[in-house]
Structure 1
Amino acid sequence: MKENKYDNSDFFSQYSQMSRSVEGLKGAGEWHVLQKMLPDFAGKRVLDLGCGFGWHCVYAIEHGATHVTGIDISKKMLEEARKRNPSPFIEYQCMAIEDFDFQPDTYDIVISSLTFHYLESFTDICRKINNCLTPGGTFVFSVEHPVFTAYGNQEWHYDQDGKPIHWPVDRYFTEGRRTAIFLGEEVVKYHKTLTTYINGLLQTGFEICELIEPQPDERLLDTIPGMKDELRRPMMLLISAKKKK
């Protein structure tokens, strides 16, 4: 994940104009589902991997968490997080997830939003997260769906009039590096199958509690361009798991 496009000024400017950047959690198409999957934060210590603007961090504090550590590789992201979502109970740290020191039994809850498809190994990060969670601790995350990442460029196939015909799915079982076009830039992501996500959890000491392929929030279908097309194929995968006691 150590590629960092978000500190590129043009890229960051475009990202800052996205609905989820402007409106926060309510502007994220999956939030109406993810919110229901989150555990009780009261009295808990929370780690947010790939925290971005800090929306999930401050949500955890507002719902009773005693301390949140937010990790992100982007200085620009964290500058915005400190402006938009400051709290004496949130500690923002600028580093790659791979470089974070996952100390044993440090957190009760680990959350991550749309980050792990930037990491080459899902099993490695699961093992580290399991180590830093207390027994029975909760791990909730979202990733881009394997159907979305398989082909690579993450673009619809269009007809001659520019209307999307279908979403290409190819090389599904060939995991690894993909070059996607996101906000006009080439971005490196790592495709993983659904099997890899499930077994990565099961083989590192987690019990899976819930798995959802969310549909967009209905209220966003008419307000965000292209959102209705998200009903034609899954874009995200949400999973909730617990560390075995």
Structure 2
Amino acid sequence: MSERGSDFYDNDAVFQTYMERRQGQDNANDTLEKPVMLELIGDATGKSILDLGCGDARFATELLGEKHNGLSYTGIEGSTNMVQTARKTVQGLNARIEQSYLEDGTYPVDTYDLAISRLAIHYIEDINRLFHSIHGTLKKDGVFIFSVEHPVITSTLQPSGTRTNWIVDQYFVEGYREQQWLGGSVHKMHRSIESYYMALQNAGFRVEHLRESAPQRAYFVDEETYQRRQRIPLFLFLSARK
């Protein structure tokens, strides 16, 4: 594919819609995805952090803030709109933002204690190469934690944008699936849970945790939204150690 996943956010209308949605009450990122990521990360005190597909880098303010006290933060992001926003976000912090597609990023050897990626790797076709790069850039005992759209979701993407059912089909037929989302057309890579797991092992990682986005009532304002989120997993999380 000639277009990379992060290019989707350089459509200004899409970018604005996305940023507005992220502010919405009970949005899935804040109620389902971020709590699990924070739980898996645990104490980030004194750690040098690499964030792959960092978006607007709001997460940097939490990881480097009083709660986590991370040592330093490097974000890699391909979207120009996101990079411009991210650089404003991290002003005054021990952080830098590198504009690059993840496949083309700079991964210096034995540099980071913690590598994270939130909902970006499902845009990447060759995760084997990427995971090898991440393994190499981590220090000994470094940890890689990422979230992706759950394979149950990517296996049911429909080009029309109108989901008629949640029937998983062609699960083991991996490849890009087209989705109409936020007023634009985006391609996400569907792969099985097994493929994510094996890619980590093949890169030399020891997988420590596998999580799904089971909703926790405390993070929801609306009861109906909480009940709806129990129907199907939206996100998959894996944590692995070098």
TM-score range relative to shorter protein:
0.7 to 0.9
Matched, 1:84 2:107: no
Matched, 1:33 2:36: yes
* Cα distance between partner residues in 2 of 1:20 and 1:212: 25
Contact 1:53–1:85 (CA under 8 A) maintained in structure 2: no
Pair 1:74–1:39, CA change in 2 (3 A): same
Equivalent residue number for residue 134 of structure 1: 139
State percent identity of aligned pairs: 32
* Cα distance between partner residues in 2 of 1:25 and 1:237: 13
Contact 1:71–1:97 (CA under 8 A) maintained in structure 2: yes
Offset, 1:225: 8.4
Pair 1:25–1:65, CA change in 2 (3 A): farther
Aligned residues: 235
Partner letter of residue 113 of structure 2?
D
Task: Note the aligned Cα RMSD (angstroms).
Answer: 2.5
* Cα distance between partner residues in 1 of 2:212 and 2:16: 29
Secondary structure in structure 1 of the residue aligned to 2:156? coil
Secondary structure in structure 2 of the residue aligned to 1:29? helix
* Cα distance between partner residues in 2 of 1:111 and 1:49: 6
Contact 2:77–2:100 (CA under 8 A) maintained in structure 1: yes
The answer for unaligned runs of 5 or more in structure 1 is 158-165
Instruction: Choose 18-27 or 72-81, whichever is displaced more.
Output: 18-27
TM-score by length of 1: 0.87
Moved over 6 A (4+): 21-26
TM-score by length of 2: 0.88
Contact 2:26–2:221 (CA under 8 A) maintained in structure 1: no
Offset, 1:151: 2.7
Secondary structure in structure 2 of the residue aligned to 1:16? helix
Offset, 1:168: 2.7
Equivalent residue number for residue 42 of structure 1: 45
* Cα distance between partner residues in 1 of 2:42 and 2:140: 15
Offset, 1:175: 0.2
Partner letter of residue 30 of structure 1?
E
Secondary structure in structure 2 of the residue aligned to 1:34? helix
Equivalent residue number for residue 112 of structure 2: 107
Partner letter of residue 210 of structure 2?
L
Structure 1 residues 78-103: Cα deviation after superposition (integer angstroms, max 9, x where no partner): 22223334333010111111111111
